[in-house]
């Protein structure tokens, strides 16, 4: 049976100021611009312009809501609170990441937080996918494809295709989770550093909660020290911290065979301006902004965009 489709009346168009872009962010003539799922919906309702305010118009919020409502009409989402104390689940995910990182992180020059130091790649080894030979790169791509093949739904790309979406590939350098969030919040994966900074600052400030997932204060501090480093893999806790700090709602389509549509909602009621970092020229996103990610468990995050 084809997916059900819902149509909503077009909201009243409202004028909103357009963000002033630097020359470096101008789209060159003939360049194909990839739009996020939220952008596609806003474009259809005549609201493709972006506001410089952290609070967009109510119509913009309704547009994002329309997408999540469409997803929910096709799939029953698993609601996950940012403050859920599922310690065993978080530790199991950490263990899976450590196992998956063996060999993979060495090839990419990345690491997992709390990973034993002897597993770090030696100095001078390849640190970027672009520097990896074509044979090894093809093997990595093949392993990602194999990891995402599931029954009975099929692989992750087919799952997204059935939802009218596709993955926007993030660089596989250990920063992919932060890159995918930056793409959603700030239009470019290049702003991943500020997202990582925000996640770590928020966990540090709220150590009374995030610390319960570790064996004591020393291990938690070691985790934060590792997580602040470039190329350290984001995990369940950093995603929760991002959701809380930016007060956003994260929709995650995963490669798992069951419960593969997750919605992370913040317990916080306002953006934590004391810990939130934004790229130069950007304000924090509006409260309740919805972001859309895909996750090939347990090794890679991508952003989700509307299918071309």
Residue 148's SS3 state is helix
Per-residue confidence (pLDDT) for residue 62, from 0 to 100: 55
> What digits encode the pLDDT tens for the residues 225-256?
999 999 999 999 999 999 999 999 999 999 88
The residue ranking higher by pLDDT, 53 or 266, is 266
Per-residue confidence (pLDDT) for residue 84, from 0 to 100: 77
**Res. 21: pLDDT tops 80:** no
Per-residue confidence (pLDDT) for residue 115, from 0 to 100: 58
Q: Which residues pair with 262 in a beta bridge?
A: 78, 252
User: Which of these, 36, 40, 60, lies nearest to 50 by C-alpha position?
Assistant: 60
Is the pTM higher than 0.95?
A: no
**Res. 207: pLDDT tops 70:** yes
Mean pLDDT across 199-209: 97
Distance CA(258)–CA(187), nearest Å, equals 30
Tell me phi and psi for residue 272, to 5 degrees.
-85, 90
User: Which of these, 39, 43, 37, lies nearest to 13 by C-alpha position?
Assistant: 43
Q: Which residues have CB under 8 Å from 286's CB, separation 6+? A: 53, 54, 55, 56, 60, 61
Per-residue confidence (pLDDT) for residue 163, from 0 to 100: 82
**Res. 1: pLDDT tops 80:** no
**Res. 5: pLDDT tops 60:** no
Tell me phi and psi for residue 119, to 5 degrees.
-90, -5
pLDDT range class, residue 38, cuts 50, 70, 90 = very low
Mean pLDDT across 68-80: 72
Per-residue confidence (pLDDT) for residue 212, from 0 to 100: 93
Cα-trace Rg, the chain: 19
Per-residue confidence (pLDDT) for residue 58, from 0 to 100: 45
The residue ranking higher by pLDDT, 163 or 128, is 163
Mean pLDDT in the chain? 72
Distances (CA, A) of 285 to 27, 105, 210, 266: 22, 32, 23, 14
Per-residue confidence (pLDDT) for residue 198, from 0 to 100: 98
pLDDT range class, residue 129, cuts 50, 70, 90 = very low
Per-residue confidence (pLDDT) for residue 217, from 0 to 100: 95
Give the best-scoring range by mean pLDDT among 21-30, 48-57, 102-111, 175-184.
175-184
Mean pLDDT across 112-136: 45
Per-residue confidence (pLDDT) for residue 139, from 0 to 100: 52
- 88-97, 113-122, 203-212: range with lowest mean pLDDT: 113-122
């Amino acid at each position: 049976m084809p997916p059900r489709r819902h149509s909503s009346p077009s909201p009243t168009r409202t004028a909103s100021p357009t963000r002033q872009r630097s020359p470096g962010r101008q789209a060159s003539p003939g360049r194909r611009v990839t739009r996020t799922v939220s952008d596609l919906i806003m474009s259809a309702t005549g609201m493709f312009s972006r506001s410089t305010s952290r609070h967009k118009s109510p119509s913009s919020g309704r547009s994002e809501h329309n997408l999540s409502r469409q997803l929910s009409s096709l799939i029953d989402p698993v609601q996950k609170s940012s403050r859920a104390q599922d310690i065993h689940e978080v530790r199991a995910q950490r263990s899976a990441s450590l196992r998956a990182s063996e060999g993979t992180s060495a090839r990419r020059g990345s690491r997992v937080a709390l990973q034993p130091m002897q597993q770090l790649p030696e100095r001078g080894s390849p640190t970027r996918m672009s520097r990896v030979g074509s044979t090894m790169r093809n093997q990595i791509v093949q392993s990602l494809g194999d990891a995402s093949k599931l029954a009975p739904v099929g692989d992750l790309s087919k799952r997204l295709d059935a939802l009218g979406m596709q993955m926007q590939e993030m660089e596989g350098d250990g920063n992919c989770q932060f890159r995918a969030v930056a793409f959603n919040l700030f239009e470019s994966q290049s702003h991943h550093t500020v997202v990582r900074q925000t996640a770590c600052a928020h966990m540090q400030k709220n150590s009374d909660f995030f610390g319960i997932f570790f064996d004591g204060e020393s291990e938690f501090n070691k985790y934060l020290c590792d997580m602040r480093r470039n190329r350290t893999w984001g995990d369940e806790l950093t995603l929760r911290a991002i959701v809380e700090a930016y007060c956003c709602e994260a929709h995650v389509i995963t490669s798992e065979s069951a419960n593969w549509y997750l919605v992370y909602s913040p317990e916080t009621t306002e953006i934590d301006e004391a810990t939130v970092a934004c790229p130069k020229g950007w304000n924090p996103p509006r409260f309740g902004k919805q972001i859309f990610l895909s996750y090939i468990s347990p090794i890679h995050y991508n952003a989700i965009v509307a299918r071309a």
